[in-house]
Amino acid sequence: QVQLQQWGAGLLEPSETLSLICSVSGGSFSGYYWSWVRQPPGKGLEWIGDIYHNGYTNYIPSLKSRVTMSLDHSKNQFSLTLTSVTAADTAVYYCARNWELWGQGTLVTVSS
Amino acid sequence: QTVVTQEPSLTVSPGGTVTLTCAPSTGAVTRGHSPTWIQQKPGQVPRTVIHSTDIRQSWTPARFSGSLLGGTAALTLSGVQPEDEADYHCLLLCGPVWVFGGGTKLTVL
């Protein structure tokens, strides 16, 4: 059974870099796209971007200058990096595969 | 950027039928938007119930159905159960980017 397990720092100060990893167990990267989504407290979902199994990426325009997504085939992991965070980046971050599988979510709080 | 609109809230009686809709600001929804419906209960991880307009996930009960309806994407729940009470988010592929709607809070009462 394929599962997504994610982790990363949960508390950041303004201007720091958010880094999250999503690990895929029981499956491979081939043929899928891998997405990151976030949900600010009490609000709706926001698509951040995705990366295809070949490394091709798409990002939401509003975050494009600060976002990087990458794959590590050797570890069956994909990652999200978001630079220069502010309080507006406080949210639960989810990874997902083809919208059929979701990670458990990681709460990231940006506060001084 | 495209804005996707959903009903903020709907209420349905147990056993009843309800249709949630999802409309982009750019015009009619087509299968090319790959409409996806995601259920989220309070404090829980989102769970996709419908993708590619009308394809149910393996865990999605048959009472959930997706369609295109009058230029919108629609999610219809027939024979609603109390456990269907949740937020429902629609998701559309608009060019190279995915756009979420604001979500519909479905109350079963």
Q: Which residues of B touch A60 (CB under 8 A)?
A: 97
Phi and psi dihedrals of A90, rounded to 5?
-65, 125
Partner residue opposite A94 with nearest CB, options B46, B97, B103: B46
Which parts of chain B sit beneath pLDDT 70?
none
Phi and psi dihedrals of A63, rounded to 5?
-115, 0
| Cα–Cα distance for residue pair A27/A105, rounded to 1 Å | 19
Closest-CA distance of chain A to residue B42, Å: 10
Q: What local confidence, expressed as pLDDT, does residue A84 receive?
A: 98
Q: Which residues of B touch A98 (CB under 8 A)?
A: 51
Provide the pLDDT confidence category of residue A29 given band limits of 50, 70 and 90. confident
Q: What local confidence, expressed as pLDDT, does residue A99 receive?
A: 93
Interchain CB distance below 8 Å, A58 and B38:
no
CB B40 within 8 A of CB B47: yes
| Cα–Cα distance for residue pair A17/A89, rounded to 1 Å | 11
Provide the pLDDT confidence category of residue A27 given band limits of 50, 70 and 90. confident
Q: Which residues of B touch A99 (CB under 8 A)?
A: 36, 38, 48, 51, 91
Tens-digit pLDDT profile for residues A43-99? 999 999 999 988 999 999 999 999 999 999 889 999 999 999 999 999 999 999 999
Q: What local confidence, expressed as pLDDT, does residue A78 receive?
A: 93
Please report the residues numbered 6 through 35 in chain B whose beta carbons come closer than 8 angstroms to any beta carbon of chain A. none
Q: What local confidence, expressed as pLDDT, does residue B22 receive?
A: 97
Cβ neighbour number for residue A64 with a 10 Å cutoff: 13
Interface probe with B: pick from A99, A102, A104, A107, most Cβ of B within 10 Å: A99
Interchain CB distance below 8 Å, B96 and A58:
yes
| Cα–Cα distance for residue pair A39/B93, rounded to 1 Å | 18
